[in-house]
Amino acid sequence: MIRFPSRALATAILATFHSAALPAGDPGCEVRTLVSAGGPRPQHSQTLAIRWTGYSNFELVYKSRVILLDAYFDRGSEYPSLGFKAADIKKADVILIGHAHYDHMSDAASVGAKTGAVVAGAPITTEKLRSQGLDPKLIKTVTGKGGESLKFSTFEVEPILGRHGQPPANVTAAFSGALRAVTTPFTAEQMAEAAAIRARGSSEPRIVTEGTIAYLITLDNGFRIMFRDSGGAITDYERAVMQRVGHVDLALAAVAADVLQSLTINRALEYLRTYKPAVYIPAHHDDNINGMWRPTEPIFQALKDQDASLVTISRQYREPICLDTRNIRRQQAKIPR
């Protein structure tokens, strides 16, 4: 059974978050320009800046290091604009790809080549990267089955084998049919554009069980981040890692594609109970102009019903979230587990 913190401690964590979320006078925590695209980095060395850039993409900036989580930026004219293009990205130290579907890796090869960043992913992912001509020296293949670590000057990454989401076919088919009946079909040009983007990813069925990687990122001050880019079931590999480390400070977790709130909530609760985060930020909840965004508020409410201390937050594209990693870690350390 999870032991959650007292309401007084919950208030302390929440106050810590809000004090760090908008530090006055720090452009790195105020402007929407990505640091990877030339924007200002946070001024304080212990600040973690987080920007969501659609689907499961995030930019993390800590001590001038830039971590890109997934790489699906040039999505096509049938999607809302992210406010930047893949070609705008000039700096990255590492790109962590959760899995090889096009909507998670379509721009990984081009951004990796331009920035010289290491691009990590499961064997299915890195096979695709090699086929796109990315320098093999920049490609890091991981299995997530233990004993792997990517070490950088200010953080360390542990890959963990996850599982891709498998939403019920009868549910998704019903909703997809309803949407097709009431929306305007995409043009031939848009369909061709989408096909070219899809070609930069893989539809290999093995992605479900062998090709989805969660990443545990540990900063040099001990602050832990869990990134999971697909809403699949928790694996034994994830459970083993969490039994060892206890909890994370921040979870960046995909909303399951199961459509029904009862299903998406259950998956989010599974993540809460496994990762035990202090802060939860959702991912993979936007869609194209003919689709449906996945609601986050019902998930937030269910999570808070289980853990009143949890900080949940969802921002728009590129809006910065800044966390003082020292303060949140200090409060999290007081929580009995």
pLDDT of residue 14: 42
Q: Which residue range is the domain that position 59 belongs to?
A: 12-331
State the SS3 of the chain: CCCCCCHHHHHHHHHHHHHHHCCCCCHHHCCCCCHHHCCCCCCCCCEEEEEECCCCCEEEEECCEEEEECCCCCCCCCCCCCCCCHHHCCCCCEEECCCCCHHHHCCHHHHHHHHCCEEEECHHHHHHHHHCCCCHHHEEECCCCCCCCEECCCEEEEEEECCCCCCCHHHHHHHHHHHHHHCCCCCHHHHHHHHHHHCCCCCCCCHHHHCCEEEEEEECCCCEEEEECCCCCCCHHHHHHHHHHCCCCEEEEECCCCCCHHHHHHHHHHHHHHHCCCEEEEECCCCCCCCCCCCCHHHHHHHHHHCCCCEECCCCCCCCEEEEHHHHHHHHHCCCC
CA distance 107 to 182: 31
pLDDT in tens, 53-89: 999 999 999 999 999 999 999 999 999 999 999 999 9
Pairing of strands 250-254, 150-151: unpaired
pLDDT digits (tens, 9 = 90+) for 127-167: 999 999 999 999 999 999 999 999 999 999 999 999 999 99
Average pLDDT over residues 32-58: 97
pLDDT surpasses 80 at 336: no
Residue 313 lies in a domain: yes
In a domain, residue 4? The reply is: no
Q: Could you tell me if residue 144 is inside a domain?
A: yes
Q: Is there a domain that residue 337 lies in?
A: no
For residue 174, tell me if it sits in a domain: yes
The count of domains in the chain is 1
Specify burial of residue 266 (Cβ count, 10 A radius: 0-12, 13-18, 19+).
middle
pLDDT at 41: 95
- Rounded mean pLDDT of 121-130? 98
- pLDDT higher than 90, residue 270: yes
Q: Which residues contact 325 (CB under 8 A, 6 or more apart)?
A: 46, 47, 48, 62, 219, 221, 223, 249
**Residue 92, domain CATH:** 3.60.15.10
pLDDT value at 11 more than 80: no
Residue 5 domain flag: no
What pLDDT, on a 0 to 100 scale, did the predictor assign at position 25? 83
Task: Decide if 308 is inside a domain.
Answer: yes
- Predicted local confidence at residue 138, as pLDDT: 98
pLDDT at 334 over 80: no
Using only the alpha carbons of the chain, give its radius of gyration.
Answer: 19
- d(C-alpha 66, C-alpha 94), whole Å: 7
CA distance 273 to 275: 6
Say how far apart CA 91 and CA 1 lie, in whole Å: 43
pLDDT for 23 beyond 60: no
What average pLDDT does this structure show over 238-263? 96
**pTM across the whole model:** 0.91
Q: What percent of the chain has pLDDT over 90?
A: 89
Confidence bin at 24 (pLDDT 50/70/90): low
| 336 within some domain | no
The pLDDT of residue 330 is 46
Evaluate whether 57 touches 98 at the Cβ level (below 8 Å): no
Residue whose C-alpha is closest to residue 253's, from 323, 196, 303, 326: 303
12: pLDDT strictly greater than 60 = no
